Amino acid sequence: MLFSSIFYLNSSFGQGRVVINEYMPWTLNGCGATAEFVELMNFGPGPINLGCYILTDGDYAVTIPPNTILQPGDYYVLAGQDVIGFPCANIDSTIHADLNWNSCGCTSAPIPTTGDGFFTDGGFASEQMVLLDPNLKVIDAVIRDLPAETNSVITTSNIGGCGKTFTLDTMAINYEILGMSTGRGNSFARKLDGDCGWVKDPQQSGNATNNTPGETSDVSYSLSVVKAMDCDNTHGSIDIFISVGAYTEPVFPMKYIIALDADNNGIFDFSDTYTYGADSTPPSISITGLPLGHYRITVESVSGCFLRTFDVSILQCTPVLSTQLVYFKLLPQQQNNLAFEWLVGDASQLQSAHLEKSIDGTSYIIASSLESLNFSGSRIFTQTIANDNRYGFYRLRLTHKNGTISYSKVIKINRRNNLLQSAGANPVVDKLELQLQSLLNENVSYVIYDMKGGKLREGKLQVKTGPNSIQIPVSNLHPGIYQLILSRPEPLSFRFVKH
């Protein structure tokens, strides 16, 4: 569908795309039923008010309290207890739930704290998980396999006046079918955040670790800016091409949300505007009629997944060399520093540049500044700052000599210095072999735990810059399942079986 014009609607709730990203239906021995969890994710492009949303398995329902705001890219974890120590909910760290369904006073009935708990325990149980909005519209729905279990008539908690009565049996629900049986201590997780593919994954929650390191999506996207400047009544335009490869299910019609940074503050929030559209014509989504401004566009397949978000700027109608920012990027990391590079078309109109950093992607402070600039022509700038692991978001604020301010795209930093790339044969007999990529010469601590969280062995590994092949002896461990944790600077983990 081609849009010759765009109409914007202000939203008091903002607009994001929320999905059930992962859930744990059958906890480890010793963890208890209250260690069950469900992880929601807002894929964006803007924030969303989850107030009065309902999460249900068809027998019980949890109502999210009013005015619960979830920012784009953030996670919301519901569980049966406030704090879940590892490895019960996450393989390498303790999880703090955003909502405890056993103490919130927001459930349709008391959820059992023993036995099956919220879910029907693992194996081949066809437990479903459905997310409903305040009007009982299905936002997301997943199930291990069809047919679904028979459901009850549910009257939800009336917390904040959110009460509803429904039964899933009378609703037309298009489930994502996982097609695998769960095992104790394994969650169901999307291969990648927002993806349509699912895996039976070790417990991971709340963005503490990447769901499945090394996984790739079955569907890929590429963005083409067809018309980058707003020069006439047709405005700017883009094409987003979709490649399905060997994937056999339909992905069209594709839907999308367009967010416009209406106040030009570099943040997509409730004051901005959101537009909704669809395209039924493969192989691309074509969007025209984009006026001058900065946009964030989130697309999804007909199944409501394969989610991707793109940042797009439509520039003023000016010659090629202009005060507009051409690019802003992160250079390869050197030791403990972060180096950023950016190009402006005509530096003569630039007054100052401030590199800004943020912990949460919303509130920014200055990391470094270039003041009273006096350059001409097209110019590349670089800024190097110390890498502070507290800050994961960076952007550039440019002040022009005419007093206007513009912002770059936001760069989100992967704060891990080490990446566990792969492990050798699993199960292992006498040695656990790891391939570790490092950006530093350093000592990395490791701990081996049993599956009840007991510490069995710890030590240090000497790691050099670049690829490392490491062997850890495990011959004196009894046969069983174990967890290896590497702790520098953020925990990295790997589960292995000892024969």
- 436 and 389 in one domain? no
Q: What are the Cα distances from residue 169, in Å, to 20, 25, 61, 148?
A: 20, 21, 14, 9
C-beta of residue 21 within 8 angstroms of C-beta of residue 193: yes
Confidence grade of residue 274 (pLDDT, cut at 50, 70, 90): very high
- 476 and 432 in one domain? yes
- For the cut 70, the answer to whether the pLDDT of residue 444 exceeds it is yes
Across the range 106-123, mean pLDDT stands at 89
CA distance 206 to 18: 14
Residue 321's contacts (CB-CB under 8 Å, 6 or more residues apart) are: 345, 346, 377, 378
Residue at 84 is within a domain: yes
Q: In the chain, how many domains are there?
A: 4
Confidence grade of residue 92 (pLDDT, cut at 50, 70, 90): confident
Residue 43 CA to its chain's centroid (Å): 6
Instruction: Identify which has the larger pLDDT, 467 or 26.
Output: 26
Residue 47 CA to its chain's centroid (Å): 13
DSSP characters for 121-147?
Answer: PSBT---EEEEE-TT--EEEEEESSSS
Residue at 185 is within a domain: yes
Residue span of the structural domain in which 359 resides: 325-412
Residue at 5 is within a domain: no
pLDDT at 433: 82
Choosing from 316, 336, 364, the residue where a domain stops is 316
Q: What are the Cα distances from residue 263, in Å, to 48, 271, 273, 278, 326?
A: 18, 7, 10, 26, 21
Instruction: Identify which has the larger pLDDT, 385 or 126.
Output: 385
Amino acid at 65: P
53 CB-side CA count, 13 A = 24
pLDDT at 322: 46
Choosing from 268, 298, 316, the residue where a domain stops is 316
Q: DSSP character for 160?
A: G
Alpha helices in 328-438 (DSSP H): none
Residue at 292 is within a domain: yes
Checking 355-359 for CB contacts under 8 A at 24+ apart, the result is 355/383, 355/385, 355/394, 355/395, 355/396, 356/394, 356/395, 356/396, 356/397, 357/385, 357/388, 357/391, 357/393, 357/394, 358/391, 358/392, 358/393, 358/394, 358/395, 359/390, 359/391, 359/392, 359/393
- 186 and 44 in one domain? yes
pLDDT at 337: 81
C-beta of residue 53 within 8 angstroms of C-beta of residue 45: no
Percent of the chain with pLDDT over 90: 37
- 151 and 15 in one domain? yes
CB atoms within 10 A of CB 193: 18
> Strands 176-177 and 138-143: what pairing?
parallel
CA distance 106 to 455: 37
Q: How many angstroms separate the most distant Cα atoms in the chain?
A: 74
Is residue 340 left, alpha or beta, with left meaning phi > 0 and alpha meaning psi from -120 to 50? beta
DSSP SS3 for 342: strand
Instruction: Identify which has the larger pLDDT, 56 or 439.
Output: 56
Written in H, E and C, the secondary structure of 165-212 is EECHHHCCCCCEECCCCECCCEEEEECCCCCCCEEEEECCCCCCCCCC
210-261: pLDDT as tens digits: 566 678 899 999 888 888 788 777 788 999 999 998 888 999 999 999 999 9
Choosing from 382, 412, 442, the residue where a domain stops is 412
- 258 and 165 in one domain? no
End-to-end distance of the chain based on CA atoms, in angstroms? 57
- 405 and 422 in one domain? no
Amino acid at 357: K
CATH number at residue 248: 2.60.40.10
Residue at 146 is within a domain: yes
280-316: pLDDT as tens digits: 999 999 999 999 898 999 999 999 999 999 988 888 7
- 432 and 297 in one domain? no
- For the cut 90, the answer to whether the pLDDT of residue 184 exceeds it is no
C-beta of residue 68 within 8 angstroms of C-beta of residue 88: no
- 345 and 226 in one domain? no
The beta strand positions in 236-336, using DSSP E, are 236-243, 254-260, 273-279, 284-290, 293-300, 308-316, 325-330
Percent of the chain with pLDDT over 70: 87
CA dihedral 49, 50, 52, 58 (to 10 degrees): 160
Question: Taking Cα atoms as reference points, which of 188, 166, 191, 170 lies closest to residue 179?
Answer: 188
Instruction: Identify which has the larger pLDDT, 81 or 125.
Output: 81
- 449 and 383 in one domain? no
pLDDT at 492: 64
311-367: pLDDT as tens digits: 888 887 754 434 567 788 887 655 578 888 888 877 788 888 899 988 777 778 899
pLDDT at 2: 37
Residue at 263 is within a domain: yes
- 75 and 198 in one domain? yes
Q: What are phi and psi of 347, to 5 degrees?
A: -70, -10
CA distance 235 to 166: 46
Residue at 1 is within a domain: no
CATH number at residue 172: 2.60.40.1260
pLDDT at 422: 52
Residue 453's contacts (CB-CB under 8 Å, 6 or more residues apart) are: 30, 85, 86, 87, 88
- 459 and 352 in one domain? no
- 256 and 136 in one domain? no
pLDDT at 453: 63
Q: Which pair of structure tokens corresponds to residue 268?
A: 């997509």
The beta strand positions in 207-283, using DSSP E, are 220-227, 229-230, 236-243, 254-260, 273-279
Residue at 121 is within a domain: yes
> Is-cis flag, bond preceding 72, omega within 30?
no
